[in-house]
Every structure is written in C-alpha cells, then in structure tokens.
Amino acid sequence: MFARVGSAASLLAVGAALGVGCGSVPDIRFDDDLVDASSDGPAPGCTPSGRETCDDGIDNDCNGKTDCADPACDAGFTCAPAPPADWRVVAYAEGRAAACPGGYGAPQDLRAVAGELAASCTCTCTAATACTAGPIALSHGGDGACSGGASENLAPTNACAKLRGNGFNVSGGLRTTLPGPGTCTPAPPSTGAPVKDARACAPPARVGGGCGAGQVCVPRPTSGYQACVAKPGGSACPTGFATVVHAGANATDTRACGACTCTTSPCTAQVALYAANNCPGAGEAIAASTCASVAASFNARYYKATVAGGCGVASQPTATGNVALTDEQTICCP
C-alpha cells in the first residue's frame, strides 16, 4: 500500500504560499489504491498521482501504461491518426441529429460535400430492351456450318447453371444469337456528390499518448461520429486520410451537366459448356455469335454465359459550375 500524496491542508498551504487561489488547486484523489489493478506494482521511479488521466501523456497510476495504452482508458478513449501541422482533431458526422460526443467541444452545423466541389458529369446509356433481358439462343448439333440441329434458350448468367433436362450432346457447330438492344436512351447525368447537412464538433482540450506511431489518444467518438482532422480553407487531405469533405456554414450549388448522347451496338454472347456440375476450367466448348465448329462431341449438362454490347456513350456531357462555400473548411477522415 502506498503512502498518501499529501494532505489537503498541506496542499492549501502550499497554494497560499504561491499566491494560488483555492480554485486552482489540482483535483487530486486521495485514494489508498492508486495503482491500476492490472499492474504488479508501480513503475520504477514513478510517483502515483491518482487514477489514469487519459489525455495528459503521463502514467498517473504508475502501472507502466500511459493514456490509451492503459485499460482504464478503453471505454472513453481511442487511438486516431495524429493531426499534421495546422490541422486539428474534430468529431465529424453527416446529419445534425446527434449531440457531440463527450470530450469534444461545441457543435458547428455545416453544409458539406464528400468529394470535389466542381461538377463531375458522368453519362450512362440504357436500352429499352437490354441485352440481358432476352434469352440467349444457342444453336447446336447439325454440321460444322451450324445448319440444322436444335436450339436452346439460355438465361444470361456468369454463374454455373444447369441445362434443362439431361442437357444435350454437343456436336457439329455452335452459335449464339441475342435480341437487339432496342432504343438506347441516356440516363440523367450526375453532377457529383450531393450537398448534405453535417456537423463537426470542436477539438478536445488536449490529446494524449499511449498509441502507435503517428497516432494520438482522443475521446472516443460515438453516435455515428468519427475522429477526423480539419483545417480552414480548401486543402488536399494529408497522407493517411482517404476521405475529403469540403464544408462551410452555407453552400451555393451551381453545378450542371450538358446532354449526353448514346449509340447502339449489336448484342453478343459467349457460352461455355461443361459436363461437370461445378463448371471447371475454361469450358469444353465456346459458342460465339459466329458459327464455331466443335472438334469432339461430348454431353453438356451445365453452362456459363456472358453478354456484351447493346448501348454505348457517343458523347459525354459538359460539366459547368461548382459548389461555393461560406467560411470553407476541409475535413479529412481516415
């Protein structure tokens, strides 16, 4: 058992001698058991000063573990990437419903874009009758020129699927045909990431240690928040922070996309036929849109099928405008 650090009276006397008011005396617990239960004893040369304080970089309870390395800090603290120079740790979340996590400062309601502020237009073209909507007509048997024989309608699938009944004997030639794509129409282009409501909570008063290289001990974010770093103005995110969020008190969005045009192309399919039910290897016979002669006959019971073609983008839309932010700041999250 350790001796008490000192009496309250002696501390007040020291404070009076130094001209320090009562409110400035450190809040020190006078517990007999000042060492963490997980410790076999105090660290050599360490004087216990109380229970572990998780953000001061000191081994307060002298168990050889500082801040986040101490099990006493597991519930309320966590390790997070250290903020580079000129950046600060914040708690960030989309939306404004949840209160700030304990240990962080006052909330700041924001309008935010998770991505770049300039318009980034993409165009996709869809078909009224998509290539994958109709069955694949597989002609088989007959002669090597694909004349005569039988036909199977197969569902487009790249997974191993069973042919109807007991399958069929592959011989002669193979060929696949697909219905046309119909009219290709452009889908409305996207201008980029939407502007959303968000909230950032001010940095904690300080951060601690006890973490790995390049990390600091911070209050554990809760209620959908995450520990991120922030900096006033528009900036690129530092190394180690993959998600960039541009935010401000208000946002004006002038992003727009011009029209895109589509073109049609033939639908094509390739079918691989298999005798075994796990579709091993590359397939014992490949059927293409042109007639393919089969060198050796075998019994096909399973297949894989892939389709391509149909619609393509003839011209991409032109992007204009951007998102203008009031009191812009950059928030970067791991």
User: Do 62 and 4 belong to one domain?
Assistant: yes
Contact criterion met (CB below 8 Å) for 255 and 320: yes
Shared-domain flag, residues 236 and 282: no
Of 9, 42, 74, the position where a domain reaches its end is: 74
Structural contact between residues 141 and 149, judged by C-beta atoms closer than 8 angstroms = yes
Residues 273 and 248 in one domain: no
* Same domain, residue pair 13 and 65: yes
Are 2 and 70 found together in one domain? Answer: yes
Q: Are residue 293 and residue 229 in the same domain, yes or no?
A: no
Are both 69 and 86 inside the same structural domain? no
Residues 14 and 144 in one domain: no
Look at residue 41 in the predicted model and tell me its pLDDT. Answer: 59
Q: What are phi and psi of 26, to 5 degrees?
A: -60, 145
Q: pLDDT at position 194, please? A: 94
Question: Is 245 in the same domain as 298?
Answer: no
First to last CA, the chain: 44
According to the model, what pLDDT value does residue 228 have? 96
Q: Is 149 in the same domain as 285? A: yes
The ranges of the chain with pLDDT < 70 are 1-42
Which pLDDT score is estimated for 63?
Answer: 93
What is the distance between the alpha carbons of residues 101 and 89, in angstroms, rounded to a whole number? 13
**Number of domains observed in the structure of the chain:** 3
- Structure confidence at residue 32 (pLDDT): 38
Predicted local confidence at residue 42, as pLDDT: 66
Domain of residue 159 covers: 125-186+260-315
CA-wise closest residue to 160 among 292, 272, 286: 272
The confidence score (pLDDT) of residue 135 equals: 80
Model pLDDT, residue 137: 85
Same structural domain, 57 and 155: no
User: Does residue 42 sit in the same domain as residue 156?
Assistant: no
The model's pTM is 0.62
Tell me whether strands 168-170 and 215-219 are parallel, antiparallel or unpaired.
Answer: unpaired
Q: What is the DSSP letter of 25?
A: S
